[in-house]
Amino acid sequence: MNLQGKSVLVTGGTGSLGKVLVRRLLSGEMGTPKKVIVMSRDEGKQHDMRMAYLHKTVTTDEVIFNNFQQALEFRIGDVRDFGDVCSAVKSADVVINAAALKQVPTCEYFPDQAVLTNCIGAMNIVRAIRENDYPVDTVVGISTDKAAKPVNVMGMTKAIQERIFTSANVLNPDTRFICVRYGNVLASRGSVIPLFHDQIANGGPVTVTVPDMTRFLLTLDQAVDTVFAALATAKAGETLVPDAPAATVINIAKALIGDSDIEIKVTGIRPGEKMHEIMVSEEECFHTSRRGDYYAIRPMLPELSPEHEPSALTKEFSSEDTVLDFDGTLALLKKHNLIPGTVKLAEGGELLA
């Protein structure tokens, strides 16, 4: 799919993924969009993002509030509010739903809030398109490995979001609804690596939940690559999954600590955490196809999977399957400049572009 001349709406566009996604959308690598619309609730983050882009093109702040005349447009709004969603979606050709409550413990304590954002937000997008006949070409739902065999509220609500978007293809055949799943994003806001960096900088201890816990690891750019691959190749109702490496939490900690005399403290598993994450469950593996560096999980609804494709997997795809050893973990972190002293992090933990 080429985005040349199209309007792209990114809900939650001021988050870790949203920032990198917007930067790469505006770079023109998928074609130069007519407009990129960022919809989120936080006016402070929108202001900071607006200023960062304006200072690349102008020397004064005179055009700060020419919001609707810019290629990058900001809208204050909430995916929980149907009216806000309608107002933003009606002018979009492509919608990328990155708005989410994604912190596992937070969702455990406030499951109702997770439902409102992660489920009702998705439903509002589908409803806006269906009830108003908005000519949206594609909707991409941003999901997570925690949606496969979910054991926590965050994963459960994201799994429901996937089903909401998948089933939307049946009654909305003019719009392609697809999803992407990926694992832990290196150095994203709220992830473990910025926490470890901060603990190391303050002399420790570095807190590890369970040493043998494994997690899939991707960079923010690889997460965006997955979104772009889905836009280019995914069929209606499919969920695209990257074939990503995994590492143990203890090896991540040791690699970041290096030769420093920093204590590692084991704190125990947190509410709702899994020991090993799953990108594709055993129920899904038998309707999963290979697409280059990705797996495509085909929808289970018969209306959306009329053609049989050979299965690319014979068992679930778990972070326990192909775990990097210490040297492999160290090499991965070095490759992406995440070893202390080699990385610059923005406020909130995002990698600076």
Positions marked catalytic: 146
Single out the residue of 72, 92, 161 nearest to residue 124, CA to CA: 161
Spatial contact of 268 and 229, defined as CB atoms under 8 Å apart:
no
User: How many Cβ atoms from other residues are within 10 Å of residue 112's Cβ?
Assistant: 8
For the purposes of burial, counting CB atoms within 10 Å of the CB of 173, is it exposed (0-12), middle (13-18) or buried (19 or more)? exposed
Amino acid symbol at 275: M
Spatial contact of 268 and 233, defined as CB atoms under 8 Å apart:
no
CA–CA separation, 117 and 125 (whole Å): 11
DSSP 342: S
Amino acid symbol at 19: K
For the purposes of burial, counting CB atoms within 10 Å of the CB of 37, is it exposed (0-12), middle (13-18) or buried (19 or more)? buried
CA–CA separation, 108 and 236 (whole Å): 31
DSSP string, 183-202: -EETT-TTSHHHHHHHHHHT
In sequence order, which ranges of 249-292 are alpha helices (DSSP H)?
A: 249-257, 282-285
